[in-house]
Structure 1
Amino acid sequence: MTASLEVLGVDGIPEVEAGADLGELIAKAGTYQDGDILLVTSKIVSKAEGRLLHATDREAAIDAETVRVVARRGPIRIVENRNGFVMAAAGVDASNTAPGTVLLLPEDPDASARALRARLRQLTGRRLAVVVTDTFGRPWRDGLTDVAIGAAGLPVLEDHRGRTDSHGNALEMTVTATADELAAAADLVKGKATGIPVAVVRGLGHLVTAEDGEGVRPLIRPSVNDMFRLGTSEALRQAVTLRRTVRSFTAEPVDPAAVRRAVAAAVTAPAPHHTTPWRFVLLESAETRTRLLDAMLGAWQRDLRELDGWDEAKIARRTARGNVLRDAPYLVVPCLVMDGSHDYPDARRAAAEREMFTVAMGAAVQNLLVALTGEGYGSAWVSSTMFCRETVREVLELPEGWDPMGAVAVGRPAEGARARGERGAEGFVVVR
């Protein structure tokens, strides 16, 4: 293990123009040893590769380089660019470039690092590694630091899992981002306004490999493992968009704690008169679910037969719609309570008062469904309990004032959601 290392700035590199032999410029500006790691600012790589764009509209250039908006606050955008990097403004930079121009990141920073490494080996005869760097902000912390966006000739990660520390404890999570640590160390001598775009890290020759290696791809966290893939507003919009009515579930049990977290989100809904008009009955027992659904089925069959005059075949087709509730591993029965409502003597205002509370109930149910989506569960709201409230209250032993407002089936979706076309606001908006 190396106990010390040097970080040396490479001075004397002239202004780089499109088509310049960057390897030759770097080779002439310094003296290099086997095992040196060269950290090269992406700006000079981009300039040599002609990535300078004459653009009066920087935002349009950012749009062109963006594949996904991660978060937006005012004019600031954190985006994923075409190389998979999550960063501010897709790396489009208007600093250290002439007015009226912007600088894009290299098209393929790993390819740039490999080409530069090969050219330097040809010119110097040295065994070198090359890391292309750029400046990133970081989640959870203020301040900027340089990170690796392209690499050749060294592993960008060092996996310590399976090793033991000095006290004999097994390391289970530690994977060091070696290339990013090198980039940050090199930036201490390069700086942001010193005109030194290249630095050499000396003393870590054991990291330099004969092969170019995988580049920086191992540093990019797969989306499936990214717990912070979206900004707050984007995550909320996506949760709303991804919410689907799920009608088939796996047999996997539902985590009761996840449902309670969803209920906690539900009861943040707006409500009239500072009331809390929601109650959520959680049917965690299979026996209770079956008893309720059997009683509801009997009540439905009786009403359809006696009140509507339906035949048995038609009744069977209609009541089969309730199978989504019977097949779900968990049910929630939201109930509306009118505690705190105003008692109006005339029917018109009394009806409006009831509608106010019903709207609040709907907002709470929507919160519940969206929160369940965020927990990874599918759901389906079914209205059936509203048609046999007395039966539901009797089976579940609920107070007279609790009005069941449908039921929510909850579980892991048994199949992926079908594609749904974009639905804009235009068809649902009237402007006055």
Structure 2
Amino acid sequence: MEFIEVVRRRRMVRRYAAEPVDPAAVDRMLEHAIRAPSAGFSQGWAFLRLDTPEAVARFWRSTSPDPEASNTWLDGMRTAPVVIVPLSNKSAYLDRYAEDDKGWADRDEDRWPVPYWHVDTGMASLLILQTAVDEGLGACFFGIPPAQIASFKAEFSVPDAYHPIGAITVGHRLPDTGAPGTEARGSAARRTRKSTTDVVHHNDW
């Protein structure tokens, strides 16, 4: 698939077919994710790959305020056979920039204008989303409720230094038939995409 088609076809898919995902395709998503840029080549990220029904069920149980809840969004997202959780590690960045070649003698977080540990992990996540499209699959990035992060980390023994920036469901997207219940549509179905004229400021604001 041409790169321009990957970009144009990428969108958040919220309901999936029962067909399993080829593990080799997930391998490629993660191989591409670690090609993302990172400040100081810190690479302070990790990815929790959940690709069995038991592991995926544990994810939804640990991240849902009410595991028995049922609604269009949840019911659709739970059909995904694969969940990838990207995690960032702030300490890796603070440690990296305290090394001799960076010139900082401390780990002062105030030196960072934005939390690049989250930014870089987000860029890695986009590569996962784009690779999913290139593999003929669908994917959706979404947030984990803050109140559920501790239970998620405990469920999967995630080290304290790592923080989930969200999660990505992956699976075979259902065809857009328009039939009720076949696909949970997101905000993009109700809002117009802004043009470059709306958001690009050329040489001055």
State the TM-score bracket (shorter-chain normalisation): 0.7 to 0.9
Report the equivalent of 1:244: 11
| TM-score, normalization by structure 1 | 0.38
| TM-score, normalization by structure 2 | 0.77
> What SS class does the counterpart of residue 340 from structure 1 fall into?
helix
CA distance in 1, matches of 2:108, 2:177: 46
Asked if the contact 1:325–1:331 (Cα under 8 Å) also holds between the matched residues in 2, the reply is: no
CA distance in 1, matches of 2:49, 2:134: 19
Q: Deviations over 1:170-209 (max 9, x none)?
A: xxxxxxxxxxxxxxxxxxxxxxxxxxxxxxxxxxxxxxxx
Determine if the alignment matches structure 1 residue 376 to structure 2 residue 144: no
Q: Which has the higher contact order (CA 8 A, sep 6+)?
A: 2
Asked if the contact 2:37–2:120 (Cα under 8 Å) also holds between the matched residues in 1, the reply is: yes
> What SS class does the counterpart of residue 373 from structure 1 fall into?
helix
Q: CA offset at residue 423 of structure 1?
A: 5.3
Report the equivalent of 1:333: 85
Q: 1:283/1:321 Cα in 2 relative to 1: closer, same or farther (>3 Å)?
A: same
Asked if the contact 2:142–2:168 (Cα under 8 Å) also holds between the matched residues in 1, the reply is: yes
Q: CA offset at residue 324 of structure 1?
A: 3.6
Q: 1:422/1:336 Cα in 2 relative to 1: closer, same or farther (>3 Å)?
A: closer
Asked if the contact 2:62–2:148 (Cα under 8 Å) also holds between the matched residues in 1, the reply is: no
Report the equivalent of 1:281: 48
1:195-234 map, 5 Å: none
CA distance in 2, matches of 1:327, 1:398: 24
**If each structure's strand is expressed as a fraction of its own residues, which one has the higher value?**
1
Report which of the two structures shows the higher radius of gyration computed on alpha carbons: 1
Report the equivalent of 1:361: 121
> What SS class does the counterpart of residue 408 from structure 1 fall into?
strand
Please, which moves more after superposition, 391-400 or 366-375? 391-400
Q: 1:344/1:380 Cα in 2 relative to 1: closer, same or farther (>3 Å)?
A: same
Match of 1:397 among 157, 163, 166: 157
Report the equivalent of 2:22: 255
Q: Deviations over 1:127-170 (max 9, x none)?
A: xxxxxxxxxxxxxxxxxxxxxxxxxxxxxxxxxxxxxxxxxxxx
Q: CA offset at residue 340 of structure 1?
A: 2.9
Q: 1:293/1:414 Cα in 2 relative to 1: closer, same or farther (>3 Å)?
A: same
Q: CA offset at residue 338 of structure 1?
A: 2.3
Q: CA offset at residue 410 of structure 1?
A: 0.6
Q: 1:271/1:238 Cα in 2 relative to 1: closer, same or farther (>3 Å)?
A: same
Asked if the contact 1:392–1:404 (Cα under 8 Å) also holds between the matched residues in 2, the reply is: no
Report the equivalent of 1:409: 169
CA distance in 2, matches of 1:270, 1:385: 27
Q: 1:400/1:324 Cα in 2 relative to 1: closer, same or farther (>3 Å)?
A: farther
CA distance in 2, matches of 1:379, 1:413: 8
| Alignment root-mean-square deviation, CA | 2.7
> What SS class does the counterpart of residue 389 from structure 1 fall into?
helix
Q: Deviations over 1:86-107 (max 9, x none)?
A: xxxxxxxxxxxxxxxxxxxxxx
CA distance in 2, matches of 1:279, 1:388: 19
Q: CA offset at residue 388 of structure 1?
A: 2.0
Query: How many correspondences in the alignment?
Result: 180
Q: CA offset at residue 395 of structure 1?
A: 0.7
Q: 1:386/1:405 Cα in 2 relative to 1: closer, same or farther (>3 Å)?
A: farther
CA distance in 1, matches of 2:165, 2:35: 18
Please, which moves more after superposition, 267-276 or 335-344? 335-344
- Structure 2: which 5+ residue stretches go unaligned? 95-106, 179-187
1:136-147 map, 5 Å: none
Q: Deviations over 1:31-89 (max 9, x none)?
A: xxxxxxxxxxxxxxxxxxxxxxxxxxxxxxxxxxxxxxxxxxxxxxxxxxxxxxxxxxx
CA distance in 2, matches of 1:268, 1:417: 36
CA distance in 2, matches of 1:417, 1:409: 21
- Residue type of the partner of 1:344? D
Determine if the alignment matches structure 1 residue 430 to structure 2 residue 192: no
Report the equivalent of 1:268: 35
- Residue type of the partner of 2:200? V
> What SS class does the counterpart of residue 388 from structure 1 fall into?
helix
- Structure 1: which 5+ residue stretches go unaligned? 1-229, 303-315
